[in-house]
């Protein structure tokens, strides 16, 4: 039977083993889940990691030139700020130690397009290890990071989807989100074709039935206009032909009367030649009027 001293020694050994096991578990849990060592406080190290994150992020290549993001990382008691600016296809990472929100913007582009603040270093490293599209779909509710007010984010996290956003970020948004997700998250300006939300004016202008009726109206109007112009031209020709006949008759009647024929004889001659009675009477009437009054009545 073991002595009291041996029992005490055995209990002591068991307590030491259990303590080591508990401390090992705590140490494992306290490590970054991504496999990175705990941040050592060196800003250059963090800047290198930010550059690596930008390089790995699949949508960086799809963002447009002049895209600019202010990235804020809380690491322990310190806060580190970096300006990410894309120019000519390359993203430049600049540490901003004296600017909490990149507000002393060295690029002179106005307010930052986006301001993203990570709640802690581990959250940033987690995204560094898994830089997927899902990051864009986050509402920035604070679980890992926040979207702070900026050029394209209003107070409350409401996105501003305008023409400039379309130019710089819509290709990336379209590569990451479905049409339904874009509509739901306020990125309707990035939709293409039939998916694009339309104003009432746009809806009217793209209504195929409306354009069909407009085409029919224009086609009918063109036909009526062409027929009218043809009739007008025909009337003009008839009028010119009639005036020519009248002129010829006047000359002939004057010639006959000067040759000694009576008005009645002239009428009979013209009727026998096939001239219409009303035209002959009309021309003779004009000649009488001219001889009696010296002018034609209006």
CB 168 within 8 A of CB 63: yes
> Over 80: is that where the pLDDT of 171 sits?
yes
Domain ranges of the chain: 43-197, 209-293
Task: Check residue 203 and report its DSSP letter.
Answer: H
More confidently predicted of 98 and 202? 98
pLDDT band, very low/low/confident/very high, at 196 (cuts 50, 70, 90):
low
Chain segment 262-290, per-residue pLDDT in tens: 878 888 888 888 877 887 787 777 767 66
Dihedral over Cα of 203, 209, 214, 219: its sign: positive
CA 142 to chain CA mean position, Å: 31
Residue 77: the pLDDT is 83
CB neighbourhood size of 157 (10 A): 14
Residue 285: the pLDDT is 77
More confidently predicted of 279 and 298? 279
Residue 38: the pLDDT is 64
CB 99 within 8 A of CB 81: yes
Looking at 3.90.1570, 3.30.420, 3.30.1050, 3.55.50, the CATH number of the domain 43-197 comes to 3.30.1050
> Over 60: is that where the pLDDT of 161 sits?
yes
> Over 60: is that where the pLDDT of 200 sits?
no
Span 252-256, average pLDDT:
82
Q: Which helix (H) or strand (E) holds 74?
A: strand 68-75
> Over 90: is that where the pLDDT of 50 sits?
yes
pLDDT band, very low/low/confident/very high, at 26 (cuts 50, 70, 90):
very low
Residue 158: the pLDDT is 85
């Amino acid at each position: 039977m073991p002595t009291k001293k041996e029992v005490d020694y055995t209990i002591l050994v068991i307590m030491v083993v259990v303590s080591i096991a508990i401390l090992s578990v705590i140490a494992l849990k306290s490590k970054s889940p991504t496999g990175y060592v705990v941040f050592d406080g060196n800003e250059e190290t963090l800047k290198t990691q930010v550059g690596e994150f930008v390089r790995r992020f699949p949508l960086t290549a799809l963002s447009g030139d002049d895209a600019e993001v202010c990235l804020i990382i809380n690491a322990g008691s310190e806060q580190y700020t970096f300006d990410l600016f894309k120019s000519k296809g390359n993203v430049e990472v600049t540490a901003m130690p004296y600017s909490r929100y990149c507000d002393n913007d060295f690029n002179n582009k106005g307010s930052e397009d986006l301001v993203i603040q990570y709640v802690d270093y581990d959250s940033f490293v987690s995204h560094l290890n898994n830089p997927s599209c899902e990051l864009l779909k986050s509402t920035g509710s604070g679980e890992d990071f926040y979207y702070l007010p900026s050029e394209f984010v209003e107070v409350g996290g409401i996105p501003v989807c305008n023409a400039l956003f379309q130019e710089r970020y819509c290709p990336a948004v379209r590569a990451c989100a479905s049409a339904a997700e874009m509509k739901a998250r306020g990125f309707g300006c990035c939709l293409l074709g039939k998916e694009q939300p339309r104003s009432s004016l746009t809806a009217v202008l793209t209504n195929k039935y409306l354009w069909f009726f407009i085409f029919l109206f224009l086609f009918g109007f063109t036909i009526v206009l062409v027929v009218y112009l043809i009739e007008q031209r025909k009337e003009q020709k008839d009028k010119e032909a009639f005036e020519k006949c009248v002129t010829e008759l006047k000359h002939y009647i004057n010639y006959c009367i000067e040759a000694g024929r009576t008005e009645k004889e002239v009428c009979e001659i013209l009727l026998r030649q096939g001239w219409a009675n009303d035209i002959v009477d009309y021309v003779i009437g004009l000649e009488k009027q001219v001889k009696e009054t010296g002018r034609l009545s209006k």
